[in-house]
Amino acid sequence: MCGIVGYIGKREAAPLLLNGLRRLEYRGYDSAGIAVLNGALSVVKQKGSVGDLENALQESGERLSGATIGIAHTRWATHGDPSDRNAHPHLNNAGDIALIHNGIIENHAALRLELSSHGYTFNSATDTEVLVHLIDRMWKDEPSLNLEGAVRRALRHVEGAYGLCVISSREPGTLVVARKGSPLVLGLGDGEYFVASDAAPIVEHTRKVVYLGDGEMAVVTAEGYTVKTVENIETEKLITELDFELGEIEKGGFEHFMLKEIFEQPDVMHDVMRGRVRLEEGRVRLGGIEDYLDRLKQARRIVICACGTSWHAGLIGEYLIEEFARIPVEVDYASEFRYRNPIVGTDDVVIVISQSGETADTLAALRAAKEKGALVMGICNVVGSTIARETLCGMYTHAGPEVGVASTKAFTAQVIVLYMLALALSKGRTISHDEIALNLRELTRVPEKAARILELDSQIKSIAEIFKDAKNFLYLGRGYNFPVALEGALKLKEISYIHAEGYPAAEMKHGPIALIDEDMPVIFIATRDSTYTKILSNIEEVRSRKGRVIAIANDGDQEISSLAEHVIYIPQATGPIMPLLTVIPLQLLAYHIATFRGCNVDRPRNLAKSVTVE
């Protein structure tokens, strides 16, 4: 969370930094700020969005012009409320060092006390401000140090996570960055360099990037950069080519990124399978795990760890792997796994799933699993992300950049990856070649079916309008559609702020049924699979308590139209395929309800796209 961007080169820094902030705003958006160095430091920062900052800059623009080095930040508050004074950059008391930070300084209280006792005064309630004073203190204690040395020394006293970027008028041509836990990327241009929390602000300037590793620091000037560890040991860094286009992080005519990303799903589904699904051979080829496939097949147990939407994909993965590959699977919240001393050993496989590849809890779960000797595999969307780099093997979801905070296309891509994985794990063991081929054929039909569902957008929009003022929603599904019920509820609550619960439909009578009355919309995912008749009974139970039923059903299902107030008909498919289809109307429903309520769907309150703090 929080977006960091820095620039050093020949061009005017302020417009580049602002543009960079716009691209990073999905990481945090409660306040924003910028500092440039033009002889002295000039800082403009305030509560609100990057747009608000731009307006403020129009007044103070003169002060920022002419500078070719600067840093900027868009914040997701952890310590201290969203306010002007808590916005980054933060300055030392002399006003000659400016710092931006993403992460949490866990020992900030102790450091604050100590610095206060040395006469430092604090202007914010943030944990970050201690860092800038600490750097100042180190520099004062040893004036022969340069900025790099002062930062390095300060970081020795810091516990917690950071991605940070520092400039100082005492050393005007240098930008110092450091990373522990929170991601940072260096963009290598022609006589200019960029620093950012992810590649989104960089790709329009250069495709060459260097990902900083944990515990690494970079010193960047207009002439070049060096990367060392915080302990001052030189490290060799690979230069990576970015693999996405600028257009992929723009709205492309859609009103919101979320809508664009929902509509991208048929193409994304093709992309995930491209080169991997070999229909003619009736097999999947998964390059990223090929060398480990035998070990994966021999796993005593697979544990899937993830958070949020990725965790829901993991639940579907459990159903798929157990059904096809007959390997026992457990799905754990990464945050629980990391702290509960799980029983995991060398014959277990731990699969971590993460769109961003930077989620702090998932990363910690990965590291805990590694420590216990498990084979750790990753399923990530962001290429080069920390999780992708730290796992032994893995598969990218190839969904392209997902900017909307509510995850949509990444989810369907994750499910397809898990589907392919389940089939790869089954090969030669549990299901026949023909069954694998049949499943692959079904998979390749999904993009076209998804496209047909997207044509229902206006019907779904009119249903959204009817229910936009509901206070609660219940989502029910069984089997493969149970995780979809959870995901549908999550989508609705995170972007519309309506309270929503997802449940396995059969669980309804064990409690949630008490909630049902004429004001409770209940979404049933009632596709024709082995539990269909059971779910019809559940619908009857809701109807007899006057609940308002909206059903997702398969084309041609007449029976359900007499039971539900609204039916969204989607194409027929097998049970395991179904989540890839049933989730789409739920994404659209959440989207339209949220827009009818005037919510900012791409940047819902209190959320951020990449959760890099615990």
Is residue 355 involved in binding ligand M6R (CB under 6 A)?
yes
Is residue 362 involved in binding ligand M6R (CB under 6 A)?
yes
Is residue 531 involved in binding ligand M6R (CB under 6 A)?
no
**List 2, 165, 380, 599, catalytic entry:** 2
With a CB cutoff of 8 Å and minimum separation 6, the contacts of 386 are 183, 214, 357, 358, 363
One residue of 49, 197, 265, 310 binding ligand M6R per CB under 6 A: 310
Is residue 611 involved in binding ligand M6R (CB under 6 A)?
yes
Is residue 332 involved in binding ligand M6R (CB under 6 A)?
no
Is residue 196 involved in binding ligand M6R (CB under 6 A)?
no
**List 427, 449, 493, 609, catalytic entry:** 609
Q: Segment near ligand M6R (CB under 6 A), from 12-20, 350-358, 444-452, 474-482?
A: 350-358
Alpha-helix residue ranges (DSSP H) falling in 233-385: 257-263, 265-273, 293-297, 308-325, 334-339, 360-371
Residue 291: DSSP 8-state: G
Nearest to ligand M6R of 74, 610 (CB atom): 610
Is residue 208 part of the annotated active site? The answer reads: no
Is residue 28 involved in binding ligand M6R (CB under 6 A)?
no
Can you tell me which residue has the tokens 């493969």? 480
Residues 478-497 that bind ligand M6R (CB under 6 A): 490, 494
Nearest to ligand M6R of 124, 381 (CB atom): 381
Q: Segment near ligand M6R (CB under 6 A), from 214-222, 251-259, 303-311, 527-535?
A: 303-311
Nearest to ligand M6R of 376, 611 (CB atom): 611
Is residue 406 involved in binding ligand M6R (CB under 6 A)?
yes
Is residue 383 involved in binding ligand M6R (CB under 6 A)?
no
Residues 104-133 that bind ligand M6R (CB under 6 A): none
d(CA 329, CA 613): 27
Is residue 308 involved in binding ligand M6R (CB under 6 A)?
yes
Nearest to ligand M6R of 451, 607 (CB atom): 607
Is residue 609 part of the annotated active site? The answer reads: yes
The answer to whether 442 and 574 are in contact (CB under 8 A) is yes
Which residue in 260, 253, 165 sits closest to 217, CA to CA?
A: 165
d(CA 146, CA 153): 11
Q: How far is the CB of 328 from ligand M6R (least distance, A)?
A: 24
Residues near ligand M6R (CB under 6 A), total:
17
Angstrom distances, CA of residue 27 to CA of 43, 88, 101, 301: 21, 14, 13, 35
With a CB cutoff of 8 Å and minimum separation 6, the contacts of 518 are 546, 547, 548
Burial 307-337 (b: 16+ CB within 10 A, else e): bbbbbbbbbbbbbbbebbbebebbbbbbbeb
Is residue 385 involved in binding ligand M6R (CB under 6 A)?
no
Tokens of 136: 């100042």
Report the sign of the C-alpha dihedral through residues 488, 491, 492, 494, in that order. Answer: positive
Catalytic residues: 2, 609
List contacts with ligand M6R (CB under 6 A): 307-310, 354-356, 359, 362, 405-407, 490, 494, 607, 610-611
